[in-house]
Chain A
């Protein structure tokens, strides 16, 4: 039954349409997940004239996201005008700190003057709930159809090729030439469809995070900030994540502070619970004062891929591509925790490749391969490869890095600055001895220095 709008009787009557049109193959591509990677892909395709359907399980993009976090914006900036984006603060200070479980802290802090100037080194703290919604809105304005509260439950196949998705809604199948899997680290759809293997335990980290509400002045005072300046503190050592391999972080938003820990799933499986780990971190004497008096407004847990380049799945398939966290594109090197920039970069390249393939009337893996090639040549895969050794190295040196070194540093500092009636020379010598002893003698120290030089290169 379909009654058309008429103006009989003066008033325009509503059009009544009982039957529902089918949207099978009405869209050129279906994007699974409206995170950073999915939105970047959708936006890129829409700009290239494609009809794109983006499906998101949350009530709005960003509502299901967990994030530390610093958003790195070099690629986003190319896609949208970020002046209007809901950014919290730019990162004016990075601070790396080693905590022992005895309450010691040794930190190095940097505040390059250049970061104060636009574009602020392309590093901003954001609340994903607000940012993702805004970013997705840019895609919608470019013509993308965003449908929320819809969970993709599987992929439709024709032979081996992916030809659409199934969702948790009634009448929930939809066909499309290409599916973009941008579902994040917990990639049940990609795994379920065997586009990707379940990541190995050592290729995933767990993270838990809390957000504490504090007023703006308190944050500015505690972290020595003004205006839109913000701070990103990273922590290592036994005092940050106990026996586990990983680290903690504290980031400032405008009126809240995010505090969290990230460490290997293996350690969690071995009995170190995320709650207890975060609790211990938050009560470390170097951390507790930063959040004192804050009201907890959010608690969340998530997984972070950290397998590096070797854990990347096949990025292209017949009728499908995998982007962002779903493809394991996160750099977690201890010094760097970057996924946002890689998610956007991968979404962008995937979008471009799909548009080109569809222009040729193709959607097979070979036609989509440009995505994998372009990503391979981008900073994304370069960086992942570069740091691939890292996970293995630190795991091997856990005892030294997370237990001995923090203590030795603290002892060395205590010794070096000691106020007594001995000479400075004596103190310096004793301080050096502490460090050298922890590092396994002069020879061990040299070996380690060589091994870890790449961490900062």
Chain B
């Protein structure tokens, strides 16, 4: 009795990594103008979610936790083909590190009765890769991180993933529900169709859930985040000579000193 899987895809809004530049003169980070975009690795998550739906049927619901403008990444997911979206937004979430973030996403996945939760490998702004295992841990679900491809077996209620491991790969069969983190670059995300994109940007509206809706208002936010940023040292770029040489001979002479 398979009438499709409930697939949840977690997408995050981040400052555009391509536009975050370092000022070589001061060595400081210049992210002020960087537009907010969908975390690049999450494009691969969305693509796998859609491909999985193509294979087993069911629905894809995009979920993001962030301030209201973050619904733009839900739009992007719906434009690509996701069926709907949920925005987890609440002042109470402010300052959350990976522990409460994965709790919120885990609760949302539970509410959505998820069979499979698909995430990106890591977010380009915090790059921990910890949220997906965190979601799995909060719910006591199976997990597949660094996944290169998925092979669903709907009749057995099993999802087989091929994981990238040091020096090779492994194929792991997991029970549902399962949390998957796709390897960055695992697939070629499909472009959004024109009419779908117009739909996503004009008519689609995500539902919004608060921390209280999820019953976790006392367990999220800064106070429930174990890690604290103790300090940010900017501008410690490695000192380099920055000498230009104009011939291979001159280059060789410099290398000879090193070798």
A contacts B directly in the complex (CB < 8 Å)?
Answer: yes
Contact present for A17 and B194 (CB under 8 Å)? no
Residues of chain A within 8 A (CB-CB) of B190 are 170
Alpha-carbon distance between A350 and B244 when the two chains are bound, in angstroms = 55
Say yes or no: B207 contacts A15, CB within 8 Å.
Answer: yes
In the complex, A12→B193 CA distance in Å?
28
Q: Nearest residue in B to A167 (C-beta to C-beta)?
A: B194
Q: How many A-B residue pairs have CB under 8 A?
A: 76
Among A11, A14, A15, A150, the most chain B Cβ lie within 10 Å of the Cβ of A14
Does A108 belong to the interface (CB within 8 Å)?
A: no
A17–B197 CB distance below 8 A: no
The listed residue (B25, B59, B207) touching A5 by CB distance below 8 A is: B207
A171 within 8 A of B: yes
B209 near A11 with CB under 8 A, answer: yes
In the assembled complex, the CB of B112 is this many whole angstroms from the nearest CB of chain A, namely: 8
Cβ–Cβ contact A20 & B61, under 8 A: no
Chain A nearest CB: distance from B22 CB in Å? 13
Separation in Å of the B87 CB from the closest CB of chain A?
9
B195 and A21 contacting across the interface, CB-CB below 8 Å:
yes
Contact (Cβ within 8 A) A13 B83: no
Chain B 194-226: CB-based contact to A (< 8 A → 1; otherwise 0): 111111011111110100010000000000000
A145 interface contact, C-beta 8 A: yes
Asked whether, in the complex, the Cβ of B197 is within 8 Å of the Cβ of A150, the reply is yes
**Which B residues are CB-close (under 8 A) to A60?**
35
**A1 to B59 CA separation, bound complex (whole angstroms):** 9
B111 touches A169 (CB 8 A): no
Q: Is B197's CB under 8 angstroms from A147's CB?
A: yes
Return chain A residues, CB-CB under 8 Å to B24: 295
Chain A interface residue count, Cβ-Cβ cutoff 8 angstroms: 29
Contact check, A170 vs B201: say whether CB atoms are below 8 A apart: no
Instruction: Tell me which residues across on chain A come within 8 A of B193, comparing CB atoms.
Output: 20, 169-172
Bound-state Cα–Cα, A143 to B232, Å = 42
**Could you say which of B192, B194, B203 contacts A174, with CB atoms under 8 Å apart?**
B194
Distance in Å from the Cβ of A301 to the closest Cβ of chain B?
21
B194's partner among A1, A13, A171, A295 (CB-CB below 8 A) is A171
Asked if A170 meets B198 with Cβ closer than 8 Å, knowing A11-B111, A14-B84, the reply is no
Indicate if B167 sits at the interface (CB-CB under 8 A): no
B39 vs chain A, min Cβ distance (A)? 16
Cβ-defined contact, A147 with B86, below 8 A:
no
Q: State whether A169 touches B192 (Cβ < 8 A).
A: yes
Interface membership of B85, Cβ < 8 A: yes
A14 close to B194 (CB less than 8 A): no
Chain B CB within 8 A of A443 CB: no
Q: B198 and A53: CB pair below 8 A?
A: yes
Cα–Cα distance between A1 and B53 once the two chains are bound (Å): 13
Q: Tell me whether A450 is interfacial, beta carbon within 8 Å.
A: no
Q: Are B196 and A171 in contact (CB under 8 A)?
A: yes
Cα A9 to Cα B207 in complex, Å, equals 15
Q: Please report the C-alpha to C-alpha distance between residue A10 and residue B84 in the assembled complex, in whole angstroms.
A: 19
Give 1 or 0 for each of A151-174: 1 = CB within 8 Å of chain B CB: 000000000000000010111111
Chain B contact patch, size range: 20 to 34
Query: Which B residues are in CB contact (< 8 Å) with A17?
Result: 83-84, 199, 204
A20 touches B195 (CB 8 A): yes
Complex contact B206–A14 (CB within 8 A): yes
A145 touches B85 (CB 8 A): no
Chain B's closest residue to A12 (CB) is: B207
B191 to chain A, nearest CB (A): 6
Q: Are A14 and B201 in contact (CB under 8 A)?
A: no
Q: Tell me, rounded to whole Å, the shortest Cβ–Cβ distance linking B250 to chain A.
A: 24
Distance of A220 from chain B, by nearest CB (Å): 19
- Whether A21 pairs with B61 at a CB distance below 8 angstroms is no
* Any B CB within 8 A of the CB of A22: yes
Tell me the smallest distance from the CB of A112 to a CB of chain B, in Å. Answer: 34
CB distance from A365 to the nearest CB of B (A): 27
A21 to B195, CA, bound (A): 7
Given A5-B207, A11-B209, A11-B213, does the pair A16, B194 have CB atoms closer than 8 Å?
Answer: no
- Give the Cβ gap from A330 to chain B, nearest Cβ, in Å: 29
| Nearest B residue (CB) for A129 | B33
Residue A423 CB within 8 A of the other chain? no
Task: Determine whether A18 belongs to the interface, using a CB cutoff of 8 Å to chain B.
Answer: yes
Whether A171 contacts B202 in the complex (CB less than 8 A), given A14-B84, A16-B84, comes out as: no
C-beta contact mask, B82-97 vs A, less than 8 Å → 1, else 0? 0111100000000000
Q: How far is the CB of B178 from chain A (nearest CB, A)?
A: 21
Q: How far is the CA of A18 from the CA of B209 in the complex (A)?
A: 22
Q: Which residues of B contact A11 (CB under 8 A)?
A: 111, 209, 213
What is the CA–CA distance of A147 and B112 in the complex, to the nearest angstrom? 30
Cα of A295 to Cα of B201 in the assembled complex, Å: 38
- In chain A, positions 20-77 with a C-beta closer than 8 Å to chain B are 20-23, 53, 60
Q: Does B191 contact A169, Cβ atoms closer than 8 Å?
A: yes
Hey, which chain B residues are within 8 Å of A23, CB to CB?
195, 198-199
**Most B C-beta atoms less than 10 A away, residue of A5, A169, A173, A295:** A169
For residue B205, which residues in chain A have a CB less than 8 angstroms away from its CB? 15
Judging by beta carbons under 8 Å apart, are B83 and A18 in contact? yes
Q: Which of B61, B84, B85, B198 lies in contact with A147, CB distance below 8 A?
A: B198
Q: Which residues of chain B have C-beta atoms less than 8 A from A9's C-beta?
A: 111
Which residues from B are CB-within-8-Å of A20?
Answer: 193, 195-196, 199
CB contacts (< 8 Å) of A5 on chain B: these are 207
Given the complex, which residues of A lie within 8 Å of B35, measured CB to CB? Answer: 60
Contact A169 to B59, CB < 8 A, known contacts A18-B83, A20-B199? no
Query: CB distance B194 to A172 under 8 Å?
Result: yes
Chain A minimum-CB-distance residue to B83: A16
A-B contact pairs, 6 of them (CB 8 A): A14-B207, A21-B199, A147-B194, A150-B197, A172-B193, A172-B194
Given contacts A147-B201, A172-B194, 16 further A-B contacts (CB under 8 A): A1-B59, A10-B213, A11-B111, A14-B206, A14-B207, A15-B84, A16-B84, A20-B195, A20-B199, A23-B198, A53-B198, A145-B202, A147-B194, A169-B194, A174-B194, A174-B198
- Contacts from A to B (Cβ < 8 Å): 1, 5, 9-18, 20-23, 53, 60, 145, 147, 150, 167, 169-174, 295
List 4 A-B pairs, minimum CB-CB distance, nearest first: A171-B193, A14-B84, A16-B83, A16-B84
